[in-house]
Amino acid sequence: MDQNLSSINKNAKIGKNVVIGKFSIIHDKVTLGDNVKIGNYCVIHENVSVGKNTEVIDYVELRGGTVIGKNSYIDSRVSSSGNCIIGNEVTIRYDSIIARGVEIGDGSYICPRVMTNNLNTDKEQIGGAKFGDNCFVGTNAVIQHGLVIGDRVVIGSMSFVNKDCLDDGVYVGMPARKIR
């Protein structure tokens, strides 16, 4: 860890064997578990927790209250708006936006450029979607605010999800509809 190029708050709790890349900023009250890797140019805001063996790649911003479980992978340019819960063994691919209040269950896979939302059309914060365990969300999918996405749900690429999705379903289209 080259602390001459990164800014690490003295109140951050850093586990064993943590690697922090160049020009990253670790704010107050951050907890990084053992064997965490933080890439270059990342900003980890206050009250963020990253579980052991998790890798956060370059240019990631995790806002306050984000909690990431163990053995997860957060790819380049992912942003969380804060107060998010990302489970264990979750993969979030590049350029995805995780809105305030989103919860992603264990073992889920979020493809590149997925966008979640937490505001309704009146700009009121409704809260982000709640994903169950072992979900798969395809590239460029958009998930509206306040939805429940059940366990083992597959959402097709470029789908627009504006209604709850039941367990074990496959949903595709604009708006997304269950096809099996």
pLDDT tens digits, one per residue of 82-109: 999 999 999 999 999 999 999 999 999 9
Give pLDDT tens digits for 27-49.
Answer: 999 999 999 999 999 999 999 99
Two tokens, residue 152 = 């083992």
User: What domains lie within the chain, and their CATH numbers?
Assistant: 1-74 (2.160.10.10), 87-180 (2.160.10.10)
**171 - beta bridge partners?**
155, 178
Q: What are phi and psi of 41, to 5 degrees?
A: 60, 35
Give pLDDT tens digits for 100-143.
Answer: 999 999 999 999 999 999 988 888 888 899 999 999 999 999 99
What local confidence, expressed as pLDDT, does residue 123 receive?
83
**What DSSP string runs through 112-154?**
TT-EE--B-TT--B----EE-TT-EE-TT-EE-TT-EE-TT-E
Question: How many Cβ atoms are within 10 Å of 125's Cβ, its own excluded?
Answer: 14
Give pLDDT tens digits for 163-177.
Answer: 999 999 999 999 999
